[in-house]
Amino acid sequence: MTTLSRVASRTVSYVTLIVIAIVGIFPIAYLFLLSTKRRIDIGDVPPSLKIEWSVVVENYKEVLFERSYVSSTINTLIITSVVVILSLLIGTPAAYTLSRLKIKGSERISTTILSLRFMPPVAVAVPILLSMRFLHVANTRIGLIIPYVAFSLPLVIWILIGFFDEIPTEIDEAAEIDGANKWRTLLQVLLPLVRPGIVVAGIFAAIFIWNEFLIGMYVIDSEALKTVPIADAGLISAQRPIDWNVAATVGVVTLIPLLIGSMAIQKHIVQGITAGAVK
Partner 1 sequence: MLYSLGISFFEFDRVAGKWNFLGLGNYKEILSDKVFWSSILVTGVMVGVALIVEVVAGVSLAIFFGQKLRGSKFVRAILITPMILNPVVVGLMWRALLNPQWGLFNWFIGLIGIDSPPIWLADPKWSLWTLIFVDIWQWTPFIFVVVFARYQALPTDVFESARVDGASPLKIIRYITLPLVSSAVVFAAIFRGIDSFRTFDLVYGLTFGGPGRSTTTLSFYSFENGFVYYRYGFASALSYIMVIMATIGFSVLLKWIPVRRNH
Query: Distance of CA 81 to CAs 145, 160, 206, 209, Å?
Result: 10, 18, 8, 10
* Options 3, 4, 44, 177; binder of partner 1; rule CB under 8 A: 44
Q: Does residue 46 touch partner 1 according to CB under 8 A? A: yes
CA within 13 Å, CB half, 86: 17
* Options 80, 219, 247, 268; binder of partner 1; rule CB under 8 A: 247
Query: How many residues does the structure list for the chain?
Result: 279
Are the beta carbons of 164 and 95 closer than 8 angstroms?
yes
Alpha-carbon distance of 5 to 161, in angstroms, equals 49
* Options 207, 219, 220, 225; binder of partner 1; rule CB under 8 A: 207
Smallest distance, Å, CB 96 to partner 1? 24
CA within 13 Å, CB half, 123: 6
Q: Does residue 7 touch partner 1 according to CB under 8 A? A: no
Positive/negative CA dihedral, 117, 123, 129, 131? negative
CB nearer to partner 1: give 17 or 187: 17
Q: Does residue 73 touch partner 1 according to CB under 8 A? A: no
| Eight-state DSSP code of residue 41 | G
Binding footprint of partner 1 on the chain (CB under 8 A) = 13-14, 16-17, 20-21, 23-25, 27-28, 30-31, 34, 42-47, 115, 117-127, 130-131, 207, 210-211, 213-214, 217-218, 228-229, 232-233, 235-236, 238, 242, 244, 247-248, 250-251, 254-255, 258-259, 262-263, 266, 269-270, 273-274, 276-278
